[in-house]
Amino acid sequence: MCGIIGILGKQDVAAQLVDALKRLEYRGYDSAGVATVQNGALGRRRAEGKLRNLEARLGERPLPGATGIGHTRWATHGRPNESNAHPHATARLAVVHNGIIENFRELRAELEADGAAFESDTDTEVVVRLVDRELTRGKLPGEAVAAVLPRLRGAFALAFLFAGYDDLLIGARHGAPLAVGHGDGEMFLGSDALALAPFTDDILYLDEGDWVELDRQGAIIHDAGGFPVTRARQKIQPGAFLADKGNHRHFMAKEIHEQPEVVGRTIAHYVDMAALRVAFADPFPFDFKSLSRLTICACGTAYLAGYVARYWFEKLARLPVDIDVASEFRYREVPMTPGGLALFISQSGETADTLASLRYAKREGQHVLSVVNVATSTIARESDTTAATLAGPEIGVASTKAFTCQLAVLLALAVAAGRARGVLSADEERRIVEAMIGVPSLMTEALKREVDIEHLSRELAKASDVLYLGRGTSFPLALEGALKLKETSYIHAEGYAAGELKHGPIALVDEHMPVVVLAPPGELMEKTVSNIQEVAARGGRIILVGDARAAHEAALDTFATIEMPDVDPIVAPLVYALPVQLLAYHAAVFMGKDVDQPRNLAKSVTVE
Ligand code: F6R
């Protein structure tokens, strides 16, 4: 994901900007750039490829100025070349950006109709030109940014530099993190504390929707409503930078909140935003078209991501799927037709059972495709083809952001399979890709329900048993909800297919039993609502996770509702995963459990 740095310094800052960008290299990038302002005039240097190319540019043509912004870019919209590299600029301002501006097409069309001539293929340039237009209309920099931010949809962080203002930087956070660093007569902006580590240990994190005006004396922060606010400053411990929790008490909370950003990044990696098509960098060395079935295998949460994907592969590609947990698969002596495709999913890439199953599949003549988060892991190395999840390091033992990133990659794969097998039309593919691009902002929206969810989690914390119900892709998500609650709070929880309830588990239901029902929109929503009525009739306390329509239909039978934004049913599991994770997280926090390192669990299970 892109890296952002901004410095209001005491001397020329170009070299410091590049040094800070080096600390953000771990995020991955394919071009870089810096801009400064000196005596009111903006200057900019950019280069494709590694930071040493940018350093060479700066060597040839130094860039003076004690105020500047810098960026490492991971291409999403447009090729990774110099003209798409950040900062993007007009004569009046320069901008660096992390994340995606989802509505950039319509904004670009509006600006072009207004006479703007775009110089890049990026979504970022619409921000530059919108703010420029406000400045032309006579607004001051802060007013111009405040006028433009509400027009931008998506999950992003931004930093702005203005011609004529040597003592001003503006930053904005909407779904992607941004930290402010306080120095001695200097101020800093950065994607994370790691970028700011050489300069200061006195950090504050902007909250969702905040934007900030910095000068060398300090920071004025405005919340999403435009009201001035203060945010707590914290001292970052030396050495703590690699394991930085940001504003959060636990890594699990941080990782839940990172999802709009990392899922956005993962989606951007696998779709062509302009053509609205799924796009994998290399052609697959196998042919989805000739497959008679797909075998999916993984453990725990990764297995449940595969279980969701089974519905996608079957529906979107008419590809039959065999799925199993790796600890069973490896010993089942599954007969496999040589030339088939076996798909393994793993965050760590080191899970012993998954690895053993992978080796079995290879011996059976399968092509091995893996979805992994750690690119250097054994599973990645032993696979024929790897599709990476770009979740970044996941530290909380309970998997959260890796799960939704796995879902993102798996959906892209299912769409690719659907196209190759002639099942999905170009129009259907476009609709699904549009829905995928909308996921990060829907996730941001879902995270806004956190206060209500925290409140409801206390209901769960009081219970000794909890049921999770769902149909279709919400069934494996119900299993995931139960798994998350079990492992973080140690409350007994079960996930069930909602239609299976009356075949046994309904006997458990009484007035002490919270029942979390996942009912996203789609053809099965009404059937799930009928199951809600069956539970309510037996006194069960229904916590509904659904949109306004589901809430309306089930109103008489629910104890509480977590009202979700409108989603396209195909991407619902990515968005509905968030309230499920937050319920487990807050129940565990409320109960005083060790959320990041639950008892008996390890992050990477390298033994059988
Ligand atoms: C649950 C969880 C585990 C892992 C499982 C597989 O929150 O994290 O169930 O999903 O141990 O691990 P990986 O994905 O590393 O193979």
**218-242 residue pLDDT tens:** 999 999 988 999 999 988 765 544 5
Higher pLDDT residue, 541 or 243? 541
C-alpha of residue 74 to centroid of ligand 1, in Å: 27
At 283 the pLDDT is 85
At 608 the pLDDT is 57
Closest atom of ligand 1 to 303 CA is 10
Collapsing DSSP states into helix, strand and coil, what is residue 579? helix
pTM: 0.78
Looking at the predicted structure, is the pLDDT value of residue 275 above 60?
Answer: yes
Q: Is 2 in the active site?
A: yes
**Residue from 404, 485, 605 to probe ligand 1 pocket by mutation (most atoms less than 8 Å from CB):** 605
Q: CA torsion angle for 200, 205, 209, 215 (degrees, to 10)?
A: -30
Residue 300 CB–ligand 1 contact under 6 Å: yes
Domain with CATH 3.60.20.10 in the chain: 3-235
**Phi, then psi, of 222 in degrees rounded to 5:** -120, 140
Residue 373 CB–ligand 1 contact under 6 Å: no
Closest atom of ligand 1 to 351 CA is 16
Average pLDDT of span 405-429: 98
Residue 348 CB–ligand 1 contact under 6 Å: yes
Single out the catalytic residue among 50, 362, 527, 603: 603
Closest C-alpha to ligand 1, atom 10: 301
**Phi, then psi, of 133 in degrees rounded to 5:** -65, -40
Closest atom of ligand 1 to 398 CA is 7
Residue 327 CB–ligand 1 contact under 6 Å: no
Using CA atoms, how far apart are residues 306 and 298, in angstroms rounded to an integer?
A: 7
Angle CA 267–269–270, to nearest 5 = 70
Using CA atoms, how far apart are residues 183 and 203, in angstroms rounded to an integer?
A: 9
pLDDT tens-place string over residues 565-595: 999 999 999 999 999 999 999 999 999 998 9
Domain with CATH 3.40.50.10490 in the chain: 248-437, 448-608
Closest C-alpha to ligand 1, atom 9: 300
C-alpha of residue 601 to centroid of ligand 1, in Å: 10
Q: Is 254 in the active site?
A: no
The class that CATH gives domain 3-235 is: alpha beta
Pick the range with the lowest mean pLDDT from 127-131, 384-388, 393-397, 479-483: 393-397
Q: Which CATH superfamily is domain 448-608 in?
A: Glucose-6-phosphate isomerase like protein; domain 1 (3.40.50.10490)
**Residue from 399, 400, 488, 607 to probe ligand 1 pocket by mutation (most atoms less than 8 Å from CB):** 399
Q: Which CATH superfamily is domain 248-437 in?
A: Glucose-6-phosphate isomerase like protein; domain 1 (3.40.50.10490)
Residue 500 binned pLDDT confidence (cut-offs 50, 70, 90): very high
Closest atom of ligand 1 to 400 CA is 7
At 240 the pLDDT is 47
CA–centroid distance for 350 within its chain: 23
Task: Report in angstroms the alpha-carbon separations of 361 from 314, 319, 335, 441, 452.
Answer: 21, 18, 10, 38, 45
At 24 the pLDDT is 77
**Percentage of residues of the chain with pLDDT beyond 90:** 75
Cβ atoms within 10 Å, residue 317: 25
Residue 367 binned pLDDT confidence (cut-offs 50, 70, 90): very high
At 243 the pLDDT is 56
pLDDT tens-place string over residues 522-535: 999 989 988 898 88
Closest C-alpha to ligand 1, atom 8: 399
At 241 the pLDDT is 47
DSSP 304: H
Write down the mean pLDDT value for the chain. Answer: 93
pLDDT tens-place string over residues 24-59: 776 667 899 999 999 999 999 999 998 999 999 999
CA–centroid distance for 199 within its chain: 28
Closest C-alpha to ligand 1, atom 7: 398
Average pLDDT of span 447-473: 96
Looking at the predicted structure, is the pLDDT value of residue 418 above 80?
Answer: yes
Average pLDDT of span 409-438: 97
With the C-alpha atoms ordered 356, 285, 264, 438, is the resulting torsion angle positive or negative? negative
CA–centroid distance for 205 within its chain: 18
Closest atom of ligand 1 to 379 CA is 16
pLDDT tens-place string over residues 4-20: 999 999 999 999 999 99
